[in-house]
Structure 1
């Protein structure tokens, strides 16, 4: 798992973005409180990708939003993109025993939407659309299901660590089953979100999802949802930690990576299919975000996928 820290303006927490590595699955499992390499230097921050933190045993605290929560056995924190996690201390998880799992929508296959709240179109990702300064959603795994949760996460960790033949399919299967379990636990909360949460943001990301292959600007998105560009900018930045243009670019890059990996289309054609009329600008944008050109990304992806 490779991330890039982006400092935000003023007193806002930094945001960490997942840096895709060609040929590698965008899934990571991190131990919490048991042999974890944690020095207490973690600042207040958010991520632009979702995750969960599951605790099989009580101990320590989790800081998210403006809250400090005592960890109880069976606690499950659903961490949406944009959720603010508080500054952690070295003894926060003393005595705790758990795991965190982070991933991007790419890990669920080519049909998973690539933009933040457009994920509401994917039933397994809907619990992750609540992101913001209020912090992570806290759920409780029933006692009779906790051994199964631990075994499932350990199996996912084992596949990622050893990379035996078929590990990609196994990781996808374990992650899907894990998200099915999250979705079922969150069923009541999800009903609430469908009725009350973020109708403006949902509309904004629906526009991005429909129109990212075309030329699309902040002003055009604002016009489509009938609010001013300034208000749109502040709302999306406050709730997700990213600008509208950054989300448009992210959605385009998700599709560009897929096309580079599974087609032999020329790079310029791929750029045009994802909304870049200028092949050079597409290549420069891709290179800045991925640390290599689209052609090199394609070559590395094909070599590492063998």
Structure 2
């Protein structure tokens, strides 16, 4: 996540042709702390962006009022506040038909986290990203995010350490909440360093990684060791998780851009569109074209007409 924060006033990162805009987190000067917290109004108009976009940072949003829908990748969450939501780097999200949207937004990069355990918590939260809060949980969450906002606003001595500690508490408490449609909880025990690094690699470059061997090389271990570590931590193989990451990125591109099937195939590492179509159908049960037709919420592509396939 290093290098993802920018000085105030820097425009959003230019996306690759055809992809949604990529938003970066402005640094707080002179402290250069990759963290921000405040109301939707304080964070700025992009906190309510109605167009599909991605982040290079993590976002936790405590929604206290509003109507409409929050869309993250393929999931649509109708607003019936209070809610607590988590958006991971690389996910495509936007607010649809939102009115009266209010609450607190917490933004931070992975570098700002307290320790590796927090990275594991965020990975798990990405599987259960949206929570409707009961009264006591809403009140407790409100007090905690208010402390984050207050500490960040005043910037007293040691404020970065306090922010990391409060953020850790927020992640732990959020991880305790049941998520809608949650699957069985992950196996007990924290994943090893190798498995955690593989999870971070998938978050950053899952659609670009081609093979387990390539991933192992990037992490600095043998393919066999990577397979054993990931299987122990997750009960699944690296190959299965790679297929899932590439499928998820293809789905994001199909529903959030108007890139052609050939262009989507190239984006996720398939030089042969026919092979990509067979892969996609095997993983999802639908062809890319049929999937797009049933999830047609695309925005116009930024791809130049001259390079369309």
CA deviations on 1:200-219 (whole Å, 9 max, x unpaired) are xx96943987xxxxxxx986
Shift of 1:55: 1.3
Q: Does 1:112 align with 2:101?
A: no
Taking structure 1 as reference, are residues 165 and 20 closer, same or farther at Cα in structure 2, changes over 3 Å only? Answer: closer
Counterpart of 1:259 in structure 2 is: none
Measure the CA separation in 2 of the matches of 1:75 and 1:126: 19
Aligned residue among 148, 153, 164 for 1:172: 164
CA deviations on 1:43-101 (whole Å, 9 max, x unpaired) are 31122322211112343432333454331122122212222113x46xx4422321121
Counterpart of 1:77 in structure 2 is: 85
Measure the CA separation in 1 of the matches of 2:37 and 2:177: 20
Q: Does 1:152 align with 2:123?
A: no
Aligned residue among 12, 18, 21 for 1:14: 21
Q: Is the 8 A contact 2:22 2:54 kept in 1?
A: yes
Taking structure 1 as reference, are residues 47 and 192 closer, same or farther at Cα in structure 2, changes over 3 Å only? Answer: farther
Aligned residue among 117, 123, 127 for 1:126: 123
Shift of 1:27: 1.6
1:215-294 superposed matches below 5 A: 220-221=214-215, 224=223, 234=246, 238=250
SS of 2:80's equivalent in the other structure is coil
Counterpart of 2:289 in structure 1 is: none
Aligned residue among 13, 19, 23 for 1:5: 13
Structure 2 residues without counterparts, runs of 5 or longer: 188-193, 202-209, 218-222, 228-237, 254-266, 270-309
Q: Over aligned residues, Cα RMSD in angstroms?
A: 4.4
Normalised by the length of structure 2, the TM-score is 0.53
Taking structure 1 as reference, are residues 233 and 145 closer, same or farther at Cα in structure 2, changes over 3 Å only? Answer: closer
Q: Is the 8 A contact 1:55 1:76 kept in 2?
A: yes
Shift of 1:179: 0.9
Taking structure 1 as reference, are residues 160 and 100 closer, same or farther at Cα in structure 2, changes over 3 Å only? Answer: same
Structure 1 residues without counterparts, runs of 5 or longer: 131-135, 196-201, 210-216, 245-306
Shift of 1:182: 0.8
SS of 1:56's equivalent in the other structure is strand
Shift of 1:184: 0.8
Taking structure 1 as reference, are residues 145 and 204 closer, same or farther at Cα in structure 2, changes over 3 Å only? Answer: closer
CA deviations on 1:126-160 (whole Å, 9 max, x unpaired) are 33444xxxxx8221222122122112111111111
Measure the CA separation in 2 of the matches of 1:243 and 1:148: 42
Counterpart of 1:98 in structure 2 is: 103
1:18-37 superposed matches below 5 A: 18=25, 23-32=31-40, 37=44
Taking structure 1 as reference, are residues 28 and 239 closer, same or farther at Cα in structure 2, changes over 3 Å only? Answer: farther
SS of 2:81's equivalent in the other structure is coil
Counterpart of 2:177 in structure 1 is: 185
Taking structure 1 as reference, are residues 194 and 164 closer, same or farther at Cα in structure 2, changes over 3 Å only? Answer: same
Taking structure 1 as reference, are residues 8 and 59 closer, same or farther at Cα in structure 2, changes over 3 Å only? Answer: same
Q: Is the 8 A contact 1:59 1:97 kept in 2?
A: no
CA deviations on 1:279-301 (whole Å, 9 max, x unpaired) are xxxxxxxxxxxxxxxxxxxxxxx
Taking structure 1 as reference, are residues 186 and 41 closer, same or farther at Cα in structure 2, changes over 3 Å only? Answer: closer
Number of aligned pairs?
213
Aligned residue among 37, 56, 68 for 1:48: 56
Measure the CA separation in 2 of the matches of 1:208 and 1:105: 10
SS of 1:175's equivalent in the other structure is helix
